[in-house]
């Protein structure tokens, strides 16, 4: 594997559609209010991609140096695990990615708020710093929260609630309770991706001391949890559409993305060996991205 391919592999480009789904949904909510801005949208997408790549680099580094990524791992081989990238090189990559992301985030905040809204600027700068810290601390360090079963909370908050409501606020400078419903949808579907990944890796994670929520609750309850995540996610935006008074046929077009999710649940119910479910990760992630796109135009 060449260095370029190794870095692209470490960036895990297949995770990017899921990461930007919350931004797209937030933009769709703002568009429905007639307050969409193309430049804010582009900068928000780039900022989110930066956070996601940083998170992927940090996960590669954290799991690599801890030995969690080993020959028992079912998914694609990681960069540090393969030896293609050394830990010190990954650290440098994380620093460079952090700097670039902060620059883009700064441009985004200035474009959205200018000089007139100092408090909003400070709040979003703090949120950006918190996002970077959360991305790194997921697997890096002795107190890495991903090793103690708190990864689901992180994903729900940052990929769902903060991503959707934060991007909506960048466009509109306001919040309302209803927009939290589609934010919950994106958050729960993002957690479902993580949960399925942890279900797949449950045995190897347990042996390496990575106590994910799946390791703590066991396979039976992890399955029930997974079904609950997806069913509640599908219901949340339906409730939003009805409560927002957008109950036309076009307003429910995003439900087309629920079809592959239902097929996924049916397959999970028939599958005994969870290690064979790796392809289903892509199905949930792309279904979430499809939901976001359809929601934008609904």
Q: Please report which confidence band the pLDDT of residue 46 belongs to, taking 50, 70 and 90 as the band edges.
A: very high
Q: Please report which confidence band the pLDDT of residue 245 belongs to, taking 50, 70 and 90 as the band edges.
A: confident
Q: What is the pLDDT of residue 221?
A: 94
> At residue 289, does pLDDT exceed 90?
yes
> At residue 94, does pLDDT exceed 70?
yes
Is residue 106 classed exposed, middle or buried when 0-12, 13-18 and 19+ CB atoms within 10 A define those classes?
A: middle
Distance of alpha carbon 268 from alpha carbon 84, whole angstroms? 34
Q: What is the pLDDT of residue 87?
A: 85
CA angle 40/43/49 to nearest 5° reads 140
The mean per-residue pLDDT over the stretch 176-200 comes to 95
Q: What's the whole-number average pLDDT of the chain?
A: 89
Distance of alpha carbon 292 from alpha carbon 298, whole angstroms? 10
Q: What is the pLDDT of residue 77?
A: 62
Lowest-pLDDT choice from 13-22, 76-85, 112-121, 223-232: 76-85
**pTM here?**
0.91
Q: What is the pLDDT of residue 165?
A: 97
Q: What is the pLDDT of residue 150?
A: 86
Which 8-state DSSP code applies to residue 76? P
Q: What is the pLDDT of residues 194-206, one digit of tens each?
A: 999 999 988 888 8
Task: Give the length of the chain.
Answer: 298
The mean per-residue pLDDT over the stretch 199-217 comes to 87
Most confident by average pLDDT, 49-63, 96-110, 197-211, 268-282: 96-110
> At residue 37, does pLDDT exceed 80?
yes
> At residue 261, does pLDDT exceed 80?
yes
> At residue 207, does pLDDT exceed 80?
yes
Q: What is the pLDDT of residue 143?
A: 73
> At residue 145, does pLDDT exceed 90?
no
Contact by Cβ (8 Å): 287, 189: yes
Is residue 231 classed exposed, middle or buried when 0-12, 13-18 and 19+ CB atoms within 10 A define those classes?
A: middle
The mean per-residue pLDDT over the stretch 67-91 comes to 68
């Amino acid at each position: 594997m060449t260095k370029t391919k190794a870095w692209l592999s470490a960036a895990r480009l297949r995770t990017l559609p899921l990461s930007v789904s919350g931004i797209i949904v937030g933009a769709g909510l703002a568009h429905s209010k007639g307050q969409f801005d193309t430049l804010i949208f582009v900068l928000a997408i780039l900022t989110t991609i930066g956070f996601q790549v940083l998170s992927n680099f940090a996960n590669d580094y954290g799991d690599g140096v801890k030995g969690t990524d080993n020959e028992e791992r079912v998914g694609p081989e990681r960069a540090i695990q393969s030896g293609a990238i050394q830990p010190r090189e990954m650290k440098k990559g994380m620093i460079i990615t952090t700097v670039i992301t902060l620059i883009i985030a700064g441009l985004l905040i200035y474009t959205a708020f200018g000089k007139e809204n100092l408090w909003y600027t400070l709040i979003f700068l703090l949120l950006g710093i918190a996002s970077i810290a959360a991305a790194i601390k997921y697997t890096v360090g002795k107190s890495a929260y991903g090793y103690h079963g708190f990864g689901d909370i992180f994903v729900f908050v940052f990929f769902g609630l903060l991503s959707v409501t934060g991007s909506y606020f960048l466009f509109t400078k306001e919040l309302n309770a209803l927009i939290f419903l589609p934010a919950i949808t994106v958050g729960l579907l993002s957690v479902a991706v993580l949960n399925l990944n942890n279900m797949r890796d449950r045995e190897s994670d347990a042996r390496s001391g990575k106590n994910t929520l799946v390791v703590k609750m066991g396979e039976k309850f992890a399955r029930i949890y997974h079904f609950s995540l997806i069913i509640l996610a599908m219901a949340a935006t339906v409730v939003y559409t009805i409560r927002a008074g957008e109950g036309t046929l076009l307003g429910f077009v995003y439900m087309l993305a629920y079809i592959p999710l239902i097929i996924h649940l049916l397959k999970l119910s028939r599958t005994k060996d969870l290690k064979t479910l790796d392809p289903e990760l892509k199905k949930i992630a792309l279904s979430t991205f499809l939901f976001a796109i359809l929601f934008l135009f609904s």
